[in-house]
Amino acid sequence: MAFFSGQSKEKIIKIMHDSRVGAFGVIGLFLLLLLKYHGLLLFTGINRIVVLLLMPAISRWFIIFVAWKFPVNADSKLAKSFMSSLDYRQFLLATVWILLIISILALLFIFFYFGRVS
């Protein structure tokens, strides 16, 4: 809740560096896990397998995209160590890999889906 606390920038950064979770954090984590579980139940058969394989790959690609596109906090030494080696080539390589994974999963999905129908 640091962003909406109405505090100064230094106080917001201090709040964000606090390692305690709090009640809102626990409730939010529980609701997020419940939402993910319910969303996974909506898929059946091969669709569920594709989602289970594809979503972690897409989420990791999105982390690279956000790290490449948006600036890092000036006080974060850990983020600077990761960002120092991230440039356009790493982002392009991650994009090629995710497109390759999506293509392979799409071909497997088409093969298994239409293989059962005919």
Query: pLDDT (tens digit, 9 = 90+) per residue, 47-70?
Result: 888 888 888 889 989 988 888 888
Q: What is the mean pLDDT of the chain?
A: 83
Per-residue pLDDT reduced to its tens digit, 8-41:
878 877 777 777 878 888 999 999 999 999 988 9
What is the number of structural domains in the chain? 2
The structure's pTM equals 0.62
Angstrom distance (rounded) from CA 113 to CA 83 = 41
Q: Are residues 34 and 88 in the same domain?
A: no
Task: Label residue 115 by pLDDT band (50, 70, 90).
Answer: confident
Q: Are residues 14 and 61 in the same domain?
A: no
pLDDT top residue among 75 and 41: 41
Q: Quick count: other Cβ atoms within 10 Å of Cβ 79?
A: 14
pLDDT given at position 74: 65
Nearest to 91 by CA among 63, 59, 49: 63
Question: Which residues, at least 6 apart from 84, have a Cβ–Cβ distance to it below 8 Å?
Answer: none
Q: Are residues 64 and 98 in the same domain?
A: yes
Angstrom distance (rounded) from CA 94 to CA 101 = 11
Domain holding 96, by residue range, is 44-118
Q: Are residues 81 and 114 in the same domain?
A: yes
Q: Which two tokens stand for residue 115?
A: 């293989």
- At residue 21, φ and ψ (nearest 5 deg) are -85, -55
pLDDT given at position 10: 82
Angstrom distance (rounded) from CA 17 to CA 74 = 14
Q: Are residues 59 and 112 in the same domain?
A: yes
DSSP 73: P
Q: Are residues 82 and 107 in the same domain?
A: yes
Q: Are residues 31 and 48 in the same domain?
A: no
Question: Does 103 score more than 80 pLDDT?
Answer: yes
Angstrom distance (rounded) from CA 83 to CA 90 = 11
